[in-house]
Structure 1
Amino acid sequence: MLVAKLLARELAEAGAAFVFGIPGKESLRFCAELAEVGITFVGARHETQAVMMADGYWRATGRIGVALVAQGAGLSNAIGGMACAARARSGVVVVTGDLLKADAATGPSSEALMELKGINTRVACESVFVDYVRPASGEAAHAEIRAALTRARAGRTVALAFPSDIFSAEAVEQQELPAYDAQAEAAAPSPDDVEMIAELLTSGFTARRPLVIAGKGAVRSGAIPAIRRFAEATGALLATSLPARSSFAGDPFNVGVCGTLSTSVGSGLIARADCVIAFGASLNPFTTYGQSVFAKDAQIVHVDINEAALGKYLVPAMGVVGDAGLTAEALTTAVLSRGGRREGYRSAEIAAQLAEFDPAAEFTDQSTDEFIDPRTLMVELDRVLPSARTLVVDAGLHLHNACSFLQVERPEDFIFPVDSLAIGLGMGAAVGAAFARVRDLTVLEVGDGGLMMALGDLDTAIRHRLPIVVVVSNDEAWGAEAQHLNLLGESDDFVRLPTPSLAELAVAMGAEGYTIRSRGDIEVVADRLREPLSGPIVLDCRVHPDIQPESFEFDYAGVFAK
């Protein structure tokens, strides 16, 4: 059996359903093997978008995502997507070639070839924190493929880089390799840590206004139900980091996102908490608003499976290493054993405050005949789009309004590929998510700059007739840079970029396109959305270019500028 066939078989056994990418001559034989094992190859237009398709598929399903890129120049193009996937700890395998043959790891000819092709595969992968696996022979390939895919299934981004003579080499099958379904036992918290937190919550200090924050780690570990029970037992209000938004949707004591995108009612309640227990959330500056979101004397407890995450951004009063779900369950038991449920921060008055909050009442509509207010746009789109949706939000100034006003029903319905802070990666992620959930609607919210970067893979969505609504917040500018220049009192002319009609461009490519300048234009789209989609729809939303999100100065002039 050739290594190419063995790799295809191993991918199928590891749960891969799709391979997204652009092949090179070294991987053509591998591509030919995919159909034989039931894997669909999806041809992309750009390598970074192919990696983001794999990333979006992983984020939507928790199943391994696979991208294929050519060696050298193809890998160079893929680096942006690989950086995002690696920082998000996405379970993605990037299959590529290595410029060096297996028997030529060094030497003048190899160095000359790398200089010609322009990249050293190992250095490129490791520079963006991607695991690098290079099968050195047909004899070693099976074990190394299995090891790479096992890492990916555990949430690592891995480059599986084959020397040019290995794909077509004969493989030696290994009979005693670890199975893919082997599960590592979740780490329980220390009993002493559990007792200390229970003491903090029930006696001595006695937290009267506790707050629980769930992060992406808690969502991925399936800990949300256990965290909710813990909050009920302690009388804690519930909040999330942005990537974990909607974890507690429908709960009467859910204050929403904590940090720069907190609502006015939420931020007021968060600031009064006297004890904060965070599960699987990094507590980065966006979640803590630069550590200013909490009261100065609030006791911070940080629970994370990864010890290195404790104190990375904010030094807690107490750091606990443990699985979020197991820790929440142990804490609930310990608290209840000390006298039963507590009212804590859960009063009828606070429940009423949260129930009565209307985000649309937080601003005054500044739409004109030419431009729609971006906040009004998102409020109205949230109303007309089906509530059962997968929402993908690209990086950029526009994300503030999209994340504030476009809702999702479950945390797994929100895909936020901004981990490398690069714009333009949302298109690939949306395509991958749409393949994962082809019967549901995927909504991509993106800026005009990000869409123009990724326009080629709008074609991928069109070719495969994917049900994607592409909402383009089009301010005809690099919006964040324009606002930053305005803060500095400088001219923003050089970051204002006239944009062609994106609706007409979409139609020319084979999609549907609509221009949005008013509420009336949104009603036309609402009528269209009552019918099934047979492919992408692009909404070219001409948003008011001078409306600045409330958290802009902190996020862009503060964190991003450093």
Structure 2
Amino acid sequence: GQARGVLPRGHELLVTRARSAAFAEADLVIVAGVPLDFRLRYGSFGSKEAPARVVHVADAPEGIASHCALAASAAGDLAAFFTLLAEAARPGGDPAWLGRLRAAWRASVDADADLLASDATPVHPMRVYGELLKALDDDAVVIGDGGDFVSFAGRLVEQARPGRWLDPGPFGCLGTGLGYAIGARLAHPSSQIVLLLGDGAAGLSLMDADTLARHNLPVVIIVGNNGAWGLEKGPMRAVYGYDVAADLRPGTRYDEVVRGLGGAGEMVTSPAEIAPALRRAFASGVPYLLNVITDVDAEYPRTTTGV
């Protein structure tokens, strides 16, 4: 996650939305600084007929994958690795392949346009991000703490600078968001700090808004409130046809919790309310929670339901 922004949004080589196409067609993949886990197909790239060679790079030997065949590996200082790689690399590449990836990236962006502007009620989560992306500064720090709601952010939020995205990591350890927000506000006193919470994740750490209020640490908190553990509810329905213990109380007033702790907030129930509510939140100078009632049936589209 911390690599987001190394190539800033708009960079000609940034084709993250075409990652699936790139992985499927690649003949060589270098993975640096992250494990070869479910997010990266456990190290399986290319096709069955032409599997890609994989080079795994980590900051310590124990971080190198042992569950799959590697063409090469390296452990140590990642900056030194990339410096040496850049010195050894020959100019060139395949302009036609890059062009295909750019076309796939553009098609993915275009396909999202209608939902980013959706007027549906309950609010589609994509509309929340359609408005948020227009309000973010280049140096904003965006923190994700949640399942389905934050999955949309992971796909849509492209940072302009590195070190401006934080999330629970590959194990999805929910509850990290408020602590991250406190640290981010202290580290970046003049930047926008935005914390994205699912309503499930809000139940794990929202009381730490008390710390934000007592220490005068303004953070904009956006809760995607669909009354469910969406990351569990959707896959259970897909696999079994029903879901168990995945529902939360509808319409919980998380905004009133933050107000009671010394901050501010409001409930948002329609798409037209999102943009003005964001303006009020960023201008407030206090911890401010937007409690957005979202559509429980608007789940994040996934190609897998787990391991």
Please point out which of 61, 74, 78 is paired with 1:320: 74
- Residue 252 of structure 1 contacts residue 355 of structure 1 at CA under 8 Å; is this kept in 2? no
Give 1:222's aligned residue. none
Q: Secondary structure of 1:470's match?
A: strand
Please point out which of 24, 29, 34 is paired with 1:271: 24
How many residues align? The count is: 302
Cα deviation, 1:37-65, whole Å, max 9, x if unaligned, reads xxxxxxxxxxxxxxxxxxxxxxxxxxxxx
Alignment of 1:80-91 (within 5 A): none
Q: Secondary structure of 2:181's match?
A: helix
Please point out which of 334, 340, 344 is paired with 2:94: 344
Give 1:426's aligned residue. 177
Q: Secondary structure of 1:391's match?
A: strand
How far residue 282 of structure 1 moved from its aligned partner, in angstroms, is 1.8
For 2:276, the aligned partner's letter is: V
Give 1:280's aligned residue. 33
- Residue 216 of structure 2 contacts residue 286 of structure 2 at CA under 8 Å; is this kept in 1? yes
Give 2:3's aligned residue. 244
Cα deviation, 1:92-128, whole Å, max 9, x if unaligned, reads xxxxxxxxxxxxxxxxxxxxxxxxxxxxxxxxxxxxx
Give 1:441's aligned residue. 192
Please point out which of 508, 514, 518 is paired with 2:260: 508
For 1:275, the aligned partner's letter is: L
How far residue 313 of structure 1 moved from its aligned partner, in angstroms, is 4.7
- Residue 417 of structure 1 contacts residue 429 of structure 1 at CA under 8 Å; is this kept in 2? no
Q: Secondary structure of 2:173's match?
A: coil
How far residue 425 of structure 1 moved from its aligned partner, in angstroms, is 2.0
Please point out which of 300, 315, 318 is paired with 2:54: 300
Q: Which consecutive unaligned segments of at least 5 residues does structure 2 have?
A: none
How far residue 438 of structure 1 moved from its aligned partner, in angstroms, is 1.9
Q: Secondary structure of 2:15's match?
A: strand
Give 1:465's aligned residue. 216
Q: Which structure ranks higher in relative contact order (CA pairs < 8 Å, sequence separation ≥ 6)?
A: 2
Distance verdict in 2 for CA 1:370–1:502, change over 3 Å: farther
Distance verdict in 2 for CA 1:272–1:328, change over 3 Å: same
Distance verdict in 2 for CA 1:332–1:405, change over 3 Å: closer
- Residue 424 of structure 1 contacts residue 449 of structure 1 at CA under 8 Å; is this kept in 2? no
For 1:486, the aligned partner's letter is: R
Cα deviation, 1:241-291, whole Å, max 9, x if unaligned, reads x442222124301222xxxxxx2x3321332111112222322221x2344
Alignment of 1:222-241 (within 5 A): none
Distance verdict in 2 for CA 1:494–1:350, change over 3 Å: closer
Task: Note if 1:353 corresponds to 2:107.
Answer: no
Structure 1 outlier segments of 4+, above 6 Å: none
- Residue 385 of structure 1 contacts residue 529 of structure 1 at CA under 8 Å; is this kept in 2? no
Aligned-residue RMSD, C-alpha:
2.8
d(CA) in 2 for partners of 1:542, 1:255: 32
Distance verdict in 2 for CA 1:529–1:275, change over 3 Å: same
- Residue 438 of structure 1 contacts residue 467 of structure 1 at CA under 8 Å; is this kept in 2? no
Give 2:269's aligned residue. 517
For 1:320, the aligned partner's letter is: A
Distance verdict in 2 for CA 1:377–1:335, change over 3 Å: closer
d(CA) in 1 for partners of 2:246, 2:168: 27
Alignment of 1:395-544 (within 5 A): 395-418=146-169, 420-487=171-238, 488-492=240-244, 495-528=247-280, 531=283, 533-544=284-295
d(CA) in 1 for partners of 2:28, 2:246: 47
- Residue 229 of structure 2 contacts residue 246 of structure 2 at CA under 8 Å; is this kept in 1? no
Distance verdict in 2 for CA 1:437–1:267, change over 3 Å: same
Q: Secondary structure of 2:274's match?
A: helix
d(CA) in 2 for partners of 1:335, 1:428: 41
Give 1:177's aligned residue. none
Task: Note if 1:558 corresponds to 2:306.
Answer: yes
Distance verdict in 2 for CA 1:463–1:348, change over 3 Å: same
Distance verdict in 2 for CA 1:529–1:357, change over 3 Å: farther
TM-score by length of 1: 0.49
Identity %: 25
Q: Which consecutive unaligned segments of at least 5 residues does structure 1 have?
A: 1-241, 257-262
How far residue 495 of structure 1 moved from its aligned partner, in angstroms, is 2.5
Larger Rg: 1
